[in-house]
Amino acid sequence: MIFETVAKILGEYKDVDPATITRDATFASLGLDSLDTVEIVMSLEDAFGIEIDMEQSLQNVEDLVKLIEAKKA
Amino acid sequence: MIVTEVNRLFGLKYPIIQGGMAWISDGKLAAAVSNAGGLGVISAINEGPEALRREIETCRSLLRDGRLPFAVNIMLMSPLAAAAADIVVEMKVPVVITGAGLPTPYMKKWLAASIQVVPVAPSTGVAKMAARLGACAVVAEGGESGGHVGDLTTMVLTPQVADAVSIPVIAAGGIADGRGVAAALLLGAAGVQCGTCFLPAKECGVHANYKRKILEAKDIDTIVTGKRLGHPVRSLKNAFSRQFADMEYDAAVSDRQIEAFGSGALRRAALDGDVQNGSVMAGQCAAMLHEEKTAEQIIADMFREAQDALSAADRFLSKEEPHA
């Protein structure tokens, strides 16, 4: 469920079909730079009602999903 | 006098912060700026931990009053960042400016040591995150600036950051005279950060060739390279930056080859004075600088002009009916 929401938010941000976004897709491969990542993290915070500290470097979609799972646990 | 939250926050005569310039912003320049009433800044990524300790000591020894504030600028992408993050705590540096990312991993440690943290933000998102982390102010840095740059201009970024956060905003990028300072304040900033305008300072130890290139620069003389690598840099056009740009647009050249070509280029220009084959990083406002002055003259002139500009601004508020 978390992955689906992340994919939906990424899809909206990049204006692409969420179905094309895979767990192992890197931000670089999605054409997202560090400033985009900050925007996406803020959207995800709103969507999940959590605060995400960007403590560790986020490389791919799976990193984000794991981070949110840990926060929600 | 121009007095804002930034004067009060750091205890400054003028609300101006000197930009952290790698290989250039040393203890001597930082002390000169702080002695002149601004916030002097030492770059943490010059040589290594020992050099940083030495520069902090030099700065302290040159301050005319031990209570004057100064700062260390830590470029977070640098491999030297983690060591610098500990040194500022150990040596009780009062203010830390961070660049290239968010200082999340270090914030707890710095706030516990009562360090005032001022991240540089190239977007409203980064500014908001910085405020949430406990930053006391944020630098909104537009792409007119020198060295590592973002896309947004100071004109567009400053008011949006001022709207996005409740902490004081310091505008940077393209500010080299009093008109720029006045404009920054009207855009919602409470102070300015200037790097390029201190390059020709008498107390700035950058190579004389570098200073000469800055003073000779015209409006169209800077170029942004390195977009392909994800960290664009503004510098003066020369043999080095032109070849960098050519390599960047050549699909046959690998990213690694470009990285290797750029490695050590700033040091070559700033320390060795090779301004043909080195990177002469500078903001667009280099063209607005015409003479070598002391840091004190640079700041005093800038703020006198700013005060004149602001005092004269009510001439635009006419009682006449507008022309139809």
Domain-by-domain residue ranges, chain B?
5-205+291-311, 208-270
Strand order in the sheet with B191-194: B16-18, B191-194, B169-172, B138-141, B116-121, B95-99, B70-75, B40-43
Q: How confident is the model at residue A56 (pLDDT cuts 50, 70, 90)?
A: low
Smallest CA–CA separation between A54 and chain B, in Å? Answer: 6
DSSP tag of B35: H
Query: What is the sign, positive or negative, of the torsion defined by CA atoms of B214, B215, B216, B220?
Result: positive
- Report the pLDDT value the prediction gives residue B324, as an integer from 0 to 100: 66
pLDDT values of chain B reduced to their tens digit, one per residue, 324 residues: 999 999 999 999 999 999 999 999 999 999 999 999 999 999 998 888 999 999 999 999 999 998 999 999 999 988 899 999 999 999 999 999 999 889 999 999 999 999 999 999 999 999 999 999 999 999 999 999 999 998 999 999 999 999 999 999 999 999 999 999 999 999 999 999 999 999 999 999 999 999 999 999 999 999 999 998 888 999 999 999 999 999 999 999 999 999 999 999 999 999 999 999 999 999 999 999 999 999 999 999 999 999 999 999 988 887 777 776
Among A28, A39, A51, the residue with its CB nearest the CB of B125 is A39
Distance CA B162, CA B6 (A): 14
Please state the length of chain A. 73
Q: How many CA atoms are closer than 13 Å to the CA of B298, on its beta-carbon side? A: 31
Q: Is B249 exposed, middle or buried (0-12, 13-18, 19+ CB in 10 A)?
A: exposed
What stretches of B165-253 show up as alpha helix (H) in DSSP? Answer: 178-186, 208-216, 239-248
Q: How many CA atoms are closer than 13 Å to the CA of B30, on its beta-carbon side? A: 32
CB within 8 Å: B125 and A55: no
CB within 8 Å: A35 and B104: no
Check CB contact of A55 with chain B, cutoff 8 Å.
yes
Distance CA B252, CA B270 (A): 30
Given a cut of 80, is residue A54 above it in pLDDT? Answer: no
CB within 8 Å: A55 and B230: no
Check CB contact of A4 with chain B, cutoff 8 Å.
no
Q: What is the rounded average pLDDT for all residues in chain A?
A: 85
Smallest CA–CA separation between B106 and chain A, in Å? Answer: 9
CB within 8 Å: A54 and B150: no
> CB neighbours of B29 closer than 8 A, spacing ≥ 6?
B18, B40, B198, B201, B203, B204, B205, B295
Tokens standing for residue A31? 């054409």
Amino acid at A36: D
CB within 8 Å: B102 and A39: no
CB within 8 Å: B123 and A54: no
Q: Coil, strand, or helix at residue B201?
A: strand
- Buried b / exposed e over B4-19, threshold 16 CB at 10 Å, is bbbbebbebbbbbbbb
Check CB contact of A46 with chain B, cutoff 8 Å.
no
**How far is residue A68 from each of residues A32, A59, B8, B192, measured CA to CA in Å?**
19, 14, 39, 37
Smallest CA–CA separation between B8 and chain A, in Å? Answer: 30
B230 neighbourhood in chain A, CB within 8 Å: 28, 33
Active site residues of A: 33
Chain B residues with a Cβ under 8 Å from any Cβ in chain A: 101-102, 104-105, 122-123, 125-126, 128-129, 132, 150, 230
Given a cut of 70, is residue A68 above it in pLDDT? Answer: yes
Q: The domain B5-205+291-311: what is its CATH number?
A: 3.20.20.70
Torsion angle of the four alpha carbons B179, B184, B185, B187, in this order, in degrees rounded to the nearest 10: 120
Average pLDDT on A29-49 reads: 87
Tokens standing for residue B152? 């947004």
Region for residue B23 given its phi and psi (left: phi exceeds 0; alpha: psi -120 to 50; beta: otherwise): left
Tokens standing for residue B149? 């740059």
Number of A/B CB contacts below 8 angstroms equals 26
Pairing of strands B233-236, B169-172: unpaired
B102 neighbourhood in chain A, CB within 8 Å: 38, 54
Model confidence, pTM: 0.91
Among B101, B104, B125, the residue with its CB nearest the CB of A42 is B125
- Report the pLDDT value the prediction gives residue B20, as an integer from 0 to 100: 93
Determine the distance from the C-alpha atom of residue A3 to the mean position of all C-alpha atoms in its chain, rounded to a whole number.
Answer: 8
- Report the pLDDT value the prediction gives residue B303, as an integer from 0 to 100: 98
- Report the pLDDT value the prediction gives residue A53, as an integer from 0 to 100: 79
